Amino acid sequence: MKVIKDRISVDELKEMAQEMFGNLVKAVIDVEEGVMSIGGELHSDEEAQLLEQGSKQHDLWGINLYPEMEDDCWIEFDSLINIRPSAGNRTRGVDDSEIREAIVEIVNNLVEK
């Protein structure tokens, strides 16, 4: 696992996907800090890594990246860590459109296509 603060190439993500799950890379995004943790077997592993580095729980959102896919459909908003009924997010997705937009912007800034 590693925290991406600068940039990573889509080719690196493709290699990671092949090594782990075949077609996807799990990632956790810190929407406040603009960083992401990638390469964990579980989103909760990546979440723990970011928490250890000072991230706040309410800023962390789990996604899946499909580096072989094009456009916005390469980002899937689906993770158990996203289920937060007390914060109004009752699904594995990201219900708040502003947070989804922030996640897409961060991923697009961090991944060099």
Q: What is the pLDDT of residue 70?
A: 80
Segments in the chain forming alpha helices (H): 10-20, 43-52, 97-110
Q: What is the pLDDT of residue 72?
A: 73
Q: What is the pLDDT of residue 91?
A: 97
pTM of the model: 0.95
CA within 13 Å, CB half, 50: 31
- Per residue in 52-70, pLDDT (tens digit) is 999 999 999 999 999 999 8
- Per residue in 14-52, pLDDT (tens digit) is 999 999 999 999 999 999 999 999 999 999 999 999 999
Q: What is the pLDDT of residue 71?
A: 76
- CB-count exposure of residue 31 (10 Å: 0-12, 13-18, 19+): buried
* Residue 89: pLDDT over 90: yes
